[in-house]
Structure 1
């Protein structure tokens, strides 16, 4: 497992992973420019390079910082808040603080950025 990072990108990466499905849908509705920018963000995230500024550009049309994480964490249109809490999973390589909860013996959630199964515990 990669050494955990204590930096401001951890919550940004976790928020991206948590909301990536919704971001993809929204980028599709907004056109090719947003889709290209999101594809670039995903590539940078997979490479574990900083993405906060790029996310700010995607969400607000400007380079962002802390408001980017708050904006993602507040949820996107159509994103629900309810979660089961029987099993807990975390980032497969420890790169972010995202947690996912599933029903007992349910499918293992995947990291939306890498496609790898999340780690139980």
Structure 2
């Protein structure tokens, strides 16, 4: 099950874990509920290699501002405390995945970050 955290917890987790996937979501967002099921599958597949957390945007509006979250669900990867930017064929460089993503879409970026040297 995806762990819900607040701002303080999120910042601690990002600093204390090698690879973190943060799900910025809303309690009443239908796609967010489906996203949590996909994230549970990803966690089951990768185990302790990745930390997956969820932040409720309605309870943490300052994080929505800090990370410029305009839609939920939004997913961001962090490695060694830093937000990761990926190359995208269509969008240049991107630092987030917006909208519902299947586990199969997230396994590639997750495995890439896990395999990267610190």
Q: Tell me which interval the TM-score lies in, with the shorter structure as reference length.
A: under 0.3
TM-score (norm 2): 0.25
TM-score (norm 1): 0.25
The higher-RCO structure (CA 8 Å, 6+ apart) is 2
Higher fraction of strand: 2
Larger Rg: 1
